[in-house]
Every structure is written in structure tokens, then in C-alpha cells.
Amino acid sequence: MIVLLACAPPPDCMEGYAANADGICLAETTGPFSGGSSVDELLDALPPCEAMEAGDRIDPDAACVDGACANNTFTEIDAALGGDASCIRRFDDQHLDVHADCSWPRGITTSFSDYDDDGVPDADSLASPLYLVPPYDGASQDGLGLEAGLGCFVDAYGPPEWMYLVHDGEHWWPGTLVWNSDTLDVGWTPESGPWDGTPSWIRMPE
């Protein structure tokens, strides 16, 4: 179950959600909210930061990972990552646009325009954004990565602009942290398995 939380001002909640007195959008089907009622309380509930060993594979400031950067072309990214991409055609019926979604086995995914609809990224299309997903195991100089606790990202970047809350069967936790995409964003999805306080994806900005 995922619930949307917003900082001030009080949000216009998405359909199916309703704001409580603290401006937290709660899913109407989830019943009483039993977590902290403020952003600070929710962030304080995160386990203390346990960072990964410092590395040089993720560069959040440059939005680069293993030498591939957001806003690079497919050719540039595939060359940096070893040339083992898999791409599939995706039709976005909301925007009437066609994309090629590409992934690399080490755990990097992104999307490109595919206006000629051949399932191959268009030559001049730029990646936006880059996602790191399992089994990606690299880390930044600050020890940020998929095995770092979500609290480490708060330590590095401060309180996020947005949080999506998740419920682990007992408590509500900040499961997705978004800093308006001017730095990396992190999140957890239920499909990734039991919630363990680490992200299941990292998004490098567009």
C-alpha cells in the first residue's frame, strides 16, 4: 500500500486519496493513519544511516553511473556499459508517443524516444532519467546506493520535497523520497520484496 505525503502547502490529493489535517494524502481505503503525523516524525522513524562502502561508480552531482550519464544518447550509454543492452518498444497512449525502454544486465534502465517506431532508440534521443535497480551494486563517494538505508539519502540531501509512504504490515514508513529531481531520487516498490529500509530503485535526474 502506498500513500502520498506532501509538505506544505496542503496538497490537492490524487483521486482516491484525501488529505488529513497535517496535509498528508492518505488512501481512502487504508483506514486510520498510525504513523507519525509530521514530516519530521516520519523521517525520524527511519533507521539510522547505514551507508555502503564508498565507491566511485555513482556520481550524483553529474547524474552519471559507470560512465553513463542522464542526457546521453543510447550509443554513448551502451558504449559506457559494455554494449549488452536489451530494448523493447513501448507505446505511451497517454502522450501518443513511442519509446524504446532499454536495460542493461548490471541493473540500469532508461528510456529513449522511438519516433520511427522500430524498437530501436532514435539516434539523437537522450536518456531520461536513468534508473538503478537490482542487481546494481555500485556506490557513490558518500556510500549511497541500493544497499544504503533511506536515512542516508536524507542525511546527504536533507528532507525530501515529497514522500510516498509504505506500510510494512505494522508501521508506515517513508518508502519513496523525492527531491524534485534536481538530485537523485530513491524509492521502494512492493514488488521488490519485504520492506527493509533500503531503496529498490534510484532515479538519476532527467
Residues at the contact surface with Ca ion, assessed by CB under 5 A? 114, 116, 118, 120, 122
Q: How many CB atoms lie within 10 A of CB 153?
A: 26
Taking the complex as a whole, how short is the minimal distance between the CB of residue 116 and Ca ion, in angstroms? 4
Q: Of all residues in this chain, which one has the CB nearest to Ca ion in the complex?
A: 114
Nearest CB to Ca ion, comparing residues 87 and 152: 87
Nearest CB to Ca ion, comparing residues 97 and 118: 118
In a 3-state reduction of DSSP, which class is residue 69?
strand
For residue 59, give the nearest of 202, 200, 177, 172 by alpha carbon. Answer: 202
For residue 198, give the nearest of 141, 134, 158, 147 by alpha carbon. Answer: 147
Taking the complex as a whole, how short is the minimal distance between the CB of residue 126 and Ca ion, in angstroms? 13
Taking the complex as a whole, how short is the minimal distance between the CB of residue 123 and Ca ion, in angstroms? 8
Query: CA–CA separation, 1 vs 167, rounded Å?
Result: 6
Nearest CB to Ca ion, comparing residues 114 and 147: 114
Work out whether strand 185-187 and strand 17-19 pair parallel, antiparallel, or are unpaired: unpaired
Taking the complex as a whole, how short is the minimal distance between the CB of residue 193 and Ca ion, in angstroms? 34
Nearest CB to Ca ion, comparing residues 117 and 182: 117
